[in-house]
Every structure is written in C-alpha cells, then in structure tokens.
Amino acid sequence: MGEQPASKPKKAAKESKSANRAASAPAPAPGASATPGTSAKAPAKKAVKKTVAKKAAAKKAVPAKATAKETAAKKAPAKKAPAKKAPANPAKAAQTAKVAKAAKTTPARPAKPAKPESHLSMVRRARRINRELADVYPYAHPELDFRNPFELLVATVLSAQTTDLRVNQTTPALFAAYPTPEDLAVADPEAVEQLIRPTGFFRAKTKSIMGLAAALRDDFGGNVPGRLDDLVKLPGVGRKTANVVLGNAFGVPGITVDTHFGRLVRRWKWTDEEDPVKVEAVVAEIFPKSEWTMLSHRVVFHGRRICHARKPACGACPIAPLCPAYGEGETDPEKAKKLLKYEKGGFPGQRLSPPPDYPGLPAPPLGAG
C-alpha cells in the first residue's frame, strides 16, 4: 500500500513530454485530415515531389520552344549587313582589294596554240594582200628617175646601200656628162667618183658602172640586153638589178627582192627564207607571172611608207587584218599617222621627175634641202 503514490509522478512526467512535442510540431495544412498513425513529415514530402515533377516538365518543354525558334529563324529573310564605313585611305584599300582578288582568282590555263596556217590559206591571204595593196598604191612605180634602159641600169647599180632619193639627186649631173655607154666607158674615173660621191661607196661603184658601160659597148653594141642571163654577166649586176631593168624598161615580168621586199614577205609569213634568190623562187610560185613586176613595186612602196623596219605604223595600215605581225609597231591610229612617210605622210617622194599619176610632191634636187 505504501508504494502506489510513487508511480503517479512518473506517469505525469511522460504526459507532459508528449504535450510539449505536439505543441512544437507544425500545424497540418488546411483541409488535411488528421489520420491516426500518419507522421507530420508526409505533407512536406508530397510538396517536394510535386516541385521536382514541375521542373522536369519545364526541361522537356525547352527543346520544343528552341526548335520552334530555329524554324522561324530559317524561314525569316536574312537581315542586311550594316554598311561598312569608308576606309580612311582609299588607295590602300584598293590595293588590298586587288591583292585579295588576285589571291582568289584561279590562274588561267594557257591558250591552245593556233592551228598552223595551211599553204593554200597562205596563198589566198597573200593574193588578197596584193589586191589590197593595188587599191592603196594604184600609182606604184620604180622610184628611180630614168629615161632609157641604160640610165635605169646605172641608177639601179648606184642605189645599193643608199636611198633612191639620193641616187635621183646624183644622176642628173652624171648623165649630163656621160649620156651613153660609150661616153661612160672612156670617162676619167676620178671625175666619175666625184659625181657619184653622194651615193656612198663611190670608188667601188665607179668601177662597176664604168665596167658595165664598157661591156655594153664591146659585147652588145652599146645597148642594154633584154635577157636575164645576159644582164647578170655585167659588172655589178645581180638578179635584183636585172629584174628591175627587165620589168620596168622591157616589160618582162620579174620579182625584185630588195631589203624592203624580203623583210615584208617574211613579216607576212609568205616565206622564212633569207636568201634573195630563194625568196624570189617562193614568191614566184604564189603569184601569176603577170603580177610579178607590179607586186614588187607595191610591196616596196608599202615597206617605205607604212610597214617600216623598226616601227611599223600598224594603226594606219590598210592590210592590218591580213597581217600576222600586227602589233609589232604602233597600233594607236593617231600616233601611227605620224609615222607615215612620203606622200602618205604629206612629204615629197623620192623622184625628182615622178610619173604623172603620182599624188605626192616631187623630190627636191641635190642641195635644195
């Protein structure tokens, strides 16, 4: 009986502790039922689970929105880039642009070589050149003054290594002193040398013209022969001189291959031969015999007036479209006109007594300037 009062204080202490715990626990969410045996932590765990689920759903929705934005960006027109500011140094910018362009440009392939011209095509082109030159120089003629075959023969021999103009200025006094082969054959060599000194190489030329004069006197009765084989036997007379005499004094067709003629036919690709005899043979095969003499005059005229050796007047050349060497000279038309000589440039020709149809001015006599 004496021990029962001691158990009551212990029970009271336990009940006091339980009351304190209940007071410190969070109040249940509104509407939540207080189910016996449920812990107070359950509502907090459910709230955490709901938050995690919402975040997961939000992450899944992000790629879809990004995809929609990308699709819209692709469909939308591209915005223009803002204009670049002008460079401070235009010259430097232009140079930079050139360098960049050169770096990007692919080097061009070398052009294929042109197809070689056939012989038939060359012949057709050569004959067309002759026809064109005939229209340009209808007045073409030998540019040496002469009144008979003897004067033409002597003048042609004197024309070596000098101009026809210088010969034409020299021969009037010579022929006034020695009008026939017989007169020249017996002349004083020193007197002849003084008369022909302006033509150059006067000593050698004096021997030649006095020697041919004696041969004409002794072998041909004082007359100039009209055959090539006879002419080339005379002192100082070769095929070129013989063809000049035959074509212009006797009307016998011949091709005169002088410096101008040989230079131009090589420039025009009619032949690449250098020897005058071979050049003559090649050209004779291209043209009919009836054209030989006038062809020679036309080519020589063109070489002296337009198609010069050092600086051809390509820009003023009437046969430029037919010339494979076009561009070797001046191609600017205005500059090319200044290179034209004799009547084409408005200057006197080479003859003191030109033919009546010559459109230019007569050459001045020796010493007239």
Catalytic residues: 240, 258
Tokens coding 221: 């009765």
* Chain centroid offset of residue 223 CA: 54
* 264 three-class SS: helix
Residues 6+ apart with CB under 8 A from 303: 260, 261, 263, 264, 309
Closest CA to 248 of 211, 197, 300, 198: 300
Asked if 286 and 127 touch (Cβ cutoff 8 Å), the reply is yes
> Residue 148 is encoded by which pair of tokens?
């008979």
Alpha carbon distance 32, 115 (integer Å): 106
Tell me the C-alpha to C-alpha distance, in Å, between residue 225 and each of 59, 93, 222, 257, 354. Answer: 121, 79, 9, 21, 25
Beta bridge partners, 78, equal none
Amino acid at 166: R
Check residue 246 and report its DSSP letter.
I
Q: Give the integer Cα–Cα distance in Å for 321 and 329.
A: 14
